[in-house]
Amino acid sequence: MKKTIILFIVIIIGYSIYYNNQYHVKNNNKSIKTYVEKFINIGEETEMELKIIEVVQLGDSDTYLASFISEKTIGYAILKKGLNNKMKIESARYGTNKIKYSAITTNKGNYGVLTGVNQTNIDHITSSLLNAKFTFTVNVSKERYFIKYKKLPKKIEKPFPAEFNFYDKNNNVLSKRNY
């Protein structure tokens, strides 16, 4: 019986150490910046220095997005919140595209996420999924950098492809893009 209890305690302690090593990013810009930089610079010859623009929680899920810019790129990191109220980095997406669309799976469902730089005085963006009847509009008129998201209905299995229309303040189409 004693051996079983000791084994159980050792397993719990080992799992706690493992878990805390996985979920170690504090929910503040400084900690997120430090760990996202480490994450994306693994194996790189030239290290990127990032500026965190915004950190948002996707609805009431355990998933957060941290948008960032560097000298030549814009992107975001996907972070999951653990039981210890700290986060771990799941992945990072970045590049030179000024506007990106992604579908992200969370513990509370799927989200369509639009991130980018407003370089052409975009007032609002309308997204329409091409394989399902679902449209959403986001206002980006007052934002240079943006992360916008919308929870997708459960019935939507394929959130791609999607058509995006970019409008000015007079509701004129500036451009159209498929993602």
Which pLDDT band holds residue 3 (cuts at 50, 70, 90)? Answer: confident
Residue 4 backbone class (left: φ over 0; alpha: ψ -120 to 50; beta: rest): alpha
Domain ranges in the chain are 25-171
Is pLDDT at 59 greater than 80 in this prediction? yes
Least confident of 4-8, 17-21, 142-146, 156-160: 17-21
Burial (CB < 10 A; 0-12, 13-18, 19+), residue 168, is: middle
pTM (2 d.p.): 0.85
Please give the pLDDT value at position 20.
64
Mean of the per-residue pLDDT values for the chain? 88
